[in-house]
Structure formats: structure tokens, C-alpha cells
Chain A
């Protein structure tokens, strides 16, 4: 599938209608989401024929992108039932198969190393301090091949240190810097839209080597 085609399909997905602020529910836009998965597939071969997990899947954008790029099995995990329902409808609409589990990432218990790749756009941790770190540490526990994630550019050094020192990553690499427009969902944002610089990361867990 071509990048433009993927971006177009993702652009038609339904997104959060009543975003919950405390869960940092804002969607990854089709531009960023398509590039994230396209890079994972075309530069690293981490998607097609793989088992992929989408942590904090929300309305399913990243996981659905993975199925469209040929992932064999995709599991989306989110704590919020309403988002999972939308995600499930989105998958049905595009006639792709995806599984969902309602679970808090911090209590996730996965057996074995069946999951090859984790893709995620975790909460930045602005509402609940450390939320991003909980996602990163559990992603690096279950992925056997790679973790793709978005984090604020302002936290780059911190992320790198934590991944390599505390979470068992053998490499932590920023693939590119992107501008993320967190939409006008939140009252406490004075402007209608806030541009935030984010990094697209690729982490490789130690066991992958």
C-alpha cells in the first residue's frame, strides 16, 4: 500500500467524540500515524507478517495502520471502553481484523514473547506524571523486536536515559522530529490548538539481539 493511500484511509477513521482529559485522549493525526507505521514497515520490516500491539490504542489508528500494512495479528489495548468500541467499529468499517483488550497498561500481564512490535502514542504525562514512562517500560517488557513511540522532544534526554538504563533497551533512536498539533480539546489550553514538537522513537529491547 502506498503512503498516500494509507494516510487517506486513516483520515476517515472516527476519533474521540468526548475525549477524557485525564487519559490524554487526542488522536494521532493521519499524517504522523501513516509515516510512523510506514517507516516501521519499509525501513525496518517490523510490521508485515508480525504480531503487533497498540498500547493506549484509543480509536485504533495505529493498530489499524498496522493491519493495513500486513500485520498478521494486532492487539489494541486501552483502559477506556468507549474508545475501544469506536476502534472496533473503525476496524469493521475498513474490513480489517484487530483484537482489543480493555486493560490499564500499568497492570498488563502478557505471557511469553509472542508480540514482535509495539506501536504507541502514549499519554505525554502532562496530566498524570510518569504515564509516558509506564507505557515505555511495559512496551519494552513485551516486545521481542521493536517499540515505536512518540514523546515530547523536550523530554528526549530523559527518555533515552530511562530506556537504556532502566527499561532494558539495547538501542534508543530518534527517527525524526515531528510537529504534533494537539487539538483544541482542552479548556486549560488558551490557544485553540497547541503545536508540540515530538520525537518518533524506535527502541530495540535487549533480547532482540
Chain B
């Protein structure tokens, strides 16, 4: 699972109001290279929750993203490269996503998070 997917997932348990971002517990991380698409990144820059991406990347062992950003940085190839790598090339393969409010763990196996709820959670 890419961190772009992580950036849109939030805990879906009924009644939870602060279910984003899910905390990552990483057991296995993969890197899968893809072509860099600058226009796509410029568009995504305005849609992603930056702090969630920085923290998620750190939990996968990548700490090259700046903590604070502004759109001018999109002119820098170096910045685009790092953003691209964190957003699209790093994958959480095994581990868990943890709800920040309840501590409920959603397991991730073979890159697929299991967000199914128990009966008393819907």
C-alpha cells in the first residue's frame, strides 16, 4: 500500500471523530520505482494532508521530507523527487494501521489493509 492510499484512509468505526491519520506499525516495507509525473505531484500537493504524509514516511523509515512546506518548493526537482518517493514508491507490505482515537488495530497483510469492522463497531 502506498502512502497516498494511507493519506485518504481514516478509521471507520462508528462514533470515532478523530480517526485520521491512522498510525502505522511497519513490519515490512517495499520500494517499487515508478516514473515521476511532475504535474500529478503539483496537483496532489494541494490534496494531501502534509503532516500525515511526513509522519507516515518516517514510520516507514524515510525521513527526507521537510516538516513544513509551501507551494514554491514545487519548483525544486529535489523536492519533487522526495515527495514522489514518499507518496508513490514506498509501500507498507506487512504491519498494521492503528486508530489514533481508540487504538483499534487494522492488520495489513500482503500490502492490503483489512478495514472490516466487527459487529459492535458499525
Are A100 and B111 in touch, CB under 8 angstroms? yes
Please report whether the interface of chain B is mostly helix, strand, loop or mixed according to DSSP: loop
Interface band, chain B:
20 to 34
Please provide the chain B residues from 25 to 75 with a CB less than 8 Å away from any CB of chain A in the complex.
32, 34, 37, 39-40, 44, 47-49
Q: A49-B39, A85-B110, A102-B116 are in contact. Are A111 and B2 (CB under 8 A)?
A: no
Cα-based distance from A59 to B34 in the complex (angstroms): 23
Q: Which residue of the partner chain, among A103, A104, A114, contacts B44 with CB atoms under 8 Å? A: A114
Which residues of chain A are within 8 angstroms of B40 by Cβ–Cβ distance?
49, 72
B8's partner among A72, A102, A115 (CB-CB below 8 A) is: A115
Closest residue of chain B to A109 (Cβ to Cβ) is B12
- CB within 8 Å of B: which of A94-126? 97, 99-104, 107-115
A contact residues around B48 at 8 Å (CB): 114
Check B116 against A111 for contact (C-beta < 8 Å): no
CA distance A52 to B57 in the complex (A): 22
Interface residues of A (CB under 8 A from B): 49, 51, 72-73, 75, 79, 81, 84-85, 88, 97, 99-104, 107-115
- Whether B5 contacts A75 by the Cβ 8 Å rule is yes
Question: In the bound complex, what is the Cα–Cα distance between A78 and B11 (angstroms)?
Answer: 17
Q: Give the residue name and chain of the A residue nearest to B12 (CB).
A: A109
Query: A109-B19, A111-B10, A112-B49 known; A101 and B116 CB under 8 Å?
Result: no
